[in-house]
Structures are given as C-alpha cells and as structure tokens.
A and B are shown apart, each in its own frame.
Chain A
C-alpha cells in the first residue's frame, strides 16, 4: 500500500529518529510513505493563535498538494500537524464563510481543494485486527521484560476521536502487546505534556512532564513510548532539568512507537535512529 505522507517540521529536526524508524518499520508491513512535494509548515497551535484563517490557509495548501496525487489518505506522524490539518478540513467544510475565503485564496494561487483528503495518524493504519496479526507475524525478537508506559498525548484523540477513545485510548497498547511487551496500565494516557510550555513557561512545562515521568516510574515502567515529536522531546530532553527541579532521579528512555516496533522486528539500530537517544538505552536493550 502506498500513502501520501506529510512529515511536518519536527521530524526533520529534533524528531528525525521518528521519521527514520517510521518509514523503515512500515516498509516491513508493506506500507510505503510518499512525501508530498514542497509541503509547508502546518502552522501548529502557535500560528492559529495569531490568525486562524491564515493557519487554515497554510493547511489547505498542503491538503491541496495531497489531493493532486489522487490518493485520499494523508499520513502525518506529528500530533500537532494531524490536528491542524484535520481541523482546517473540518472548518472549511463546516463554516461557509471560512470555506469560501480559503478556497478563493487557493484559487488566487492556481490551486484547488475539493475536500477529498482524509488525514490519518500512522497509529490509525496499524490499529485494525488484521494489521495487529501482521505485526505479530513479523516479530523476530519479542520484547520480553519490556514494561512500556504508553503515552498518547492530547491531540491525536482530541477533539476528533476518529479512531480511538479520547480519554482511555487502546491502539498503542494493542501494538505494544502484539510485540510481546508488557503494557503498564495507567489513567494518564492523554494527559497533556504542555507542548511548547517547556520552552516558554518552563516551571509549568516541567511540572506537567514530571507528573507523567513520576507515574511511569512508580508503576515500574522501564520505558515510555510516544506518538508525537513534541511529547517525545519534552519527556526525554527535559529529564535532567526535571531531576534538578524536583530532586528526582529519572533516567527513563522515551522511544517512538515505531522505534520499538523496529526493535521487535529485528531491524538494525541505524535504521531506527536509536543512536539519537539522549537517555541511554543500554539497560533497556539488555533486558530483551
């Protein structure tokens, strides 16, 4: 199967290992991602705060580029991009005054959008029963001894809970189970990591992430898995700052679900960007 792919800015920078591992792992499941040509930044929540119409226009350009390829599904791995693209599509269709403005703007640049694109997160592709069976079949190294804290973050299930529950989702848990890992049950699956608050009001941002890491630790998890570059960055890269602030001693690896899949599939570490971890994976990789 081939899909249109919208990477977003983060997986080209601090989240490189997300893209590396995602592309290679999905290949194993015969899923091919084709990056849409000359995509632009989705604008994230930030752009929307300043000018929502322009934010929708940014998103609409991407939707239009994707539609031209005649494949309806557009896969995007970043939760912020996922939400912005989906919301733009929703608002263009729901509110005439917005739809008209955006479509006119596209037209002025010789583009069009007919509303045919379906924005999807990779999790959505992997969550059906037959895919889970496929995943099980491909496992070469079952993840015995892994205790995974599945963290979904907010924006892939809210406010559009299209493929999973907005409070207690299961898609990621199911994948981790299929890989032979033990899933640590907890009620914080979609509690906010603060997004860019770690960069702006650090005290508040650190606190939100401290809560998540603390919950992972007391529940005996030996790693956290995420589906969004922003969550991954916050939970991993701020651990040493959090330790200082809260006198804690976290050293919990935070891996993308696609990296964990790749490990279970037996893919070489370069293909999964494992060397890009700031927190050492040594102990974790030894338990398996």
Chain B
C-alpha cells in the first residue's frame, strides 16, 4: 500500500510563485485579497471546481504552486468576469485564471485529455495557421481526441444545422496569411 503524506511543510511551498503573479500584467492586485469570498459566491461554476476562486488565491499566496497549476478550476472558468466585477479589492480574478492557464501549459501541468485544454490547443493551431476558425473542423478534432463516441450523439444537431444552412464546410482562411504569420512570429522572438 502506498502511503501519501497529506500536508505540506513550509519549506516545500514556493513563495516565488505569487511574487511572479503580482509582477505579471493583470495579476498586480492579487496580494490585496481579503478572502471575502465575493468571487466564489458569485461564480456560476464554483460548485464544479476543485478549488473555488477564493481558495485558489489563498493557495497562491501560500505557495501551493503545483496544486494551483494542476487544478481544473482554471480550465473550468468560462471567463464570465462576474468575479472581477464583484471583487471589492479590484482583483482581476478572470485575468488571473488566464495567467495560470498559460503557466500550466508552459510547465506542462495541464490535464492532457481534458476536453477544454484540447479544444484550446486545436483552436490555437487552426487560427495560427489560417487566421480564421471553422467551427466544424474544430468540433471534429475535439471529439476525435477526447470522446469519439460522442460524435453520434451530435449527429441529429448536425443535420439540423445543415438543413438550416448554418454549417460551413468550406474551411475559411484569410488572404494575407503571410502578414499574420510575420506578426505572430515576431511575438515569439
């Protein structure tokens, strides 16, 4: 039987984490969080999250870097900005979620087959390549990589969309894709 330790000692925590967040655009006010819970209370998705937004911020301040980056919370967040509007300390909670998502990808901590991170990646690749997003291609790729069986459950909706002319099969692209690529490459440098 494997025995897991349930607590973390002070020296195992990473206190450079929140310093880094505070110095990142959008994360500046995080240290002023008073743990009031307005964010979690107003968040329509907090009931599904592993850590509520308030708790996630407490964990950031305490240095639970790994737990924060691996959490589903950051991927479940739908960017509705309710928390941001409600926060009495002007903390941009939604933007914090974006900072964390990017960091999780950078550190390869995101849940690999979790549909939301898969969708994000597919979408990113398509737009980087073509400049436009073609909804149908995206749906195909998402289902293929996460849950191929679900495809059949989508068929009747697909037919209705075709019948009403709302499905675009032609994959869309911009004309000056070279220009767009130059811009995106320049960001990488």
Contacts and interface: CB of A to CB of B under 8 A. Distances in A.
Interface of A: 9-10, 12-17, 38-41, 43-54, 57-58, 60-61, 91, 94-95, 97-98, 101-102, 104-106, 108-111, 154-155, 158-159, 161, 166-167, 190-192, 194-197, 199-202, 204, 208, 237-238, 240-241, 275-278
Residue in A17, A38, A275 whose Cβ sees the most chain B Cβ within 10 Å: A38
B55 interface: no
B187 A194 contact: no
A199 B187 contact: no
Nearest to B116: A200
A240 B157 CA distance: 9
Residue in A16, A54, A195 whose Cβ sees the most chain B Cβ within 10 Å: A54
Interface in B82-114: 82, 84-85, 92, 94, 98-99, 101-102, 105
DSSP class of B's interface residues: helix, strand, loop or mixed?
helix
Given A41-B131, A237-B160, 14 more contacts: A13-B134, A14-B167, A47-B120, A47-B124, A52-B99, A54-B187, A60-B183, A155-B80, A155-B81, A158-B84, A192-B80, A199-B139, A200-B116, A208-B45
A94 B28 CA distance: 13
B132 A40 contact: yes
B119 A200 contact: yes
Given A41-B131, A50-B121, A191-B44, A14 B80 contact: no
B135 A13 contact: yes
Contact of A105 (B84, B127, B172, B186): B186
A9 B85 contact: no
Interface string B114-148: 01100111011001100111111001001000000
DSSP class of A's interface residues: helix, strand, loop or mixed?
helix
A200 B122 CA distance: 13
A50 B84 contact: no
Contact of A276 (B84, B164, B183): B164
A49 B94 contact: no
Contacts of B85: 158-159, 161, 166-167
B119 A51 contact: no
Nearest to B119: A200
Interface in B2-44: 25-26, 44
Contact of A101 (B116, B121, B187): B187
Contacts of B182: 105, 108-109
Nearest to B122: A46
Nearest to A110: B179
